[in-house]
Amino acid sequence: MRITAKADYAVRAAVELAASEKSGKPVKGEHLAGLQQIPQNFLENILTELRRAGIIRTRRGADGGYQLARPAAEITVADVLRAVEGPLAAVQGVRPDQLSYGGAAERLPEVWVALRASLRDVLEHVTLADIARGRLPTAVKDRTRPKDAWRPH
Amino acid sequence: MRITAKADYAVRAAVELAASEKSGKPVKGEHLAGLQQIPQNFLENILTELRRAGIIRTRRGADGGYQLARPAAEITVADVLRAVEGPLAAVQGVRPDQLSYGGAAERLPEVWVALRASLRDVLEHVTLADIARGRLPTAVKDRTRPKDAWRPH
DNA sequence: CCGAATCCCAACTAAAGAAGTCGACAAACT
DNA sequence: AGTTTGTCGACTTCTTTAGTTGGGATTCGG
C-alpha cells in the first residue's frame, strides 16, 4: 500500500505541466526537475513512459520540452499512475477480479475489489487541472474533511 | 498500490482462525498452512508478528496452536494489515499527513489523504467475522455492486 | 521427570523492485 | 554545422519480498 517515488514524481511533474498548459510552450526537463526537486535523469525516464502512454507530448532540440498531450481537465491522477505503475491494485501481482481462494477466505476477493473501487473513486475523479488550480472535486474534499482523515493512522 | 503476499497470507490465516473461533481450540500452524495453501514456515513468521501486535494468542506444546486474541467481530482487516505492513498508505515511506510540496503540486497531499481515507472506509469496516461468515457490510457490498467494479482495470 | 509436540527466534538467501546514474544517439532549431 | 534538447538501453546500489533453515524454549501426556 505504498506510493513509490516514481509515481509521486510522475504526478507532480504532470501537475506542473498542467499549470503551464495555457502558455502553450513546452517545458524543459531541467526546468521541470527544478520546479519539483526531482532528479533530472530519473524524471526524464519517467516522462518518456508518460509519453509512451500518450499522456504527454515532447519536442526535441532548442525550444523543445514536454507538454500535456490532452487538456489537463481530461487527465486524471489514475491515468498517470497507471502509466508508470501497472494496475491500481494487485494482490501478489494479480488483479483482484481474477483471484479465487478456498476455505473461509472465499469472500475475500470481494474485499479487494471493493478496495480497488474505492481507490478509483478518488483517483479517477481528480484531474491534473483540479490540482493545479487548487479546486479539488467534492469526492476528494468530502474525504479530507472529517477531522480524523488527517490523523496519523 | 500492491498487496503483498505477506499481507494477503496474514488476512487469510486470520479469517481461518475466525472461522474456527467457536470451537475454542487453537489451530495448529501446519493445519492453518494447509487450509490456505501457505508455506508453513513463512506463515509462522507472520503469525508471530500478529501475536506481537496482540491480534492472536498462541500456545506451545501438544495441544498448542493459534487462536484469535479478541472476538472475530472486533478485528478488522485494517488491524491485520497494519500489524504486518506499516501504515496503510505512505508516499515514499512518509505518511500523507506529513507531506508538503511546493509549486503547482501544493494541493497534492490532500489527494493522498483522501486516498488513504477511502482505503480506511473499506478496510476498517470489514471484520474477520464478516468474511468468515460471508456477510460483508454494506460499505463493501455497495462498492462491488457496480458492474464496472469487476472490470479488469 | 522424560520425551514428543509445538511454537519462537535470529540469521540466512535468492530474486525482484526501487531509485537513480551514465553515455552514446537522434531530432530539431539557428 | 553546431548547439540544444529529448531517447534509449545498460548499469549500479540499496531495499524489500518471499521465503528457508536450524536450534531453542514451552507445554503436555504419561
DSSP codes joined into one string, B92-141: TTB-GGG----GGGGGHHHHHHHHHHHHHHHHTT-BHHHHHHT---HHHH
Does A51 score more than 80 pLDDT? Answer: yes
Q: Strand C and chain A: which residues 39-98 have CB closer than 7 Å? A: 39-42, 45, 59-64, 85, 93
Helices (H) and strands (E) in chain A, counts: 7, 4
Does A152 score more than 90 pLDDT? Answer: no
Amino acid at B2: R
Report the pLDDT value the prediction gives residue A127, as an integer from 0 to 100.
Answer: 98
With 0-12 / 13-18 / 19 or more C-beta atoms within 10 angstroms meaning exposed / middle / buried, residue A93 is exposed
Q: What's the Rg (C-alpha) of chain A? A: 18
Q: Residue B46 phi/psi, 5° resolution?
A: -65, -40
Report the pLDDT value the prediction gives residue A74, as an integer from 0 to 100.
Answer: 98
Q: Strand D and chain B: which residues 43-62 have CB closer than 7 Å? A: 45, 59-62
CB A45 within 8 A of CB A38: no
B contacts of A111 (beta carbons < 8 Å): 77, 122-123, 126, 131, 136, 140
Q: What is the mean pLDDT of chain A?
A: 97
* Among chain B residues, CA nearest to A127: B111
CB A111 within 8 A of CB A121: no
Report the pLDDT value the prediction gives residue A43, as an integer from 0 to 100.
Answer: 98
Is B96's CB less than 7 Å from nucleic acid strand C? Answer: no
Question: Half-sphere exposure of B45 toward its Cβ, with a 13 Å CA cutoff?
Answer: 9
**Residues of chain B where predicted confidence (pLDDT) is lower than 50:** none
A contacts of B4 (beta carbons < 8 Å): 92
Report the pLDDT value the prediction gives residue A39, as an integer from 0 to 100.
Answer: 98
Q: What is the mean pLDDT of residues A29-51?
A: 98
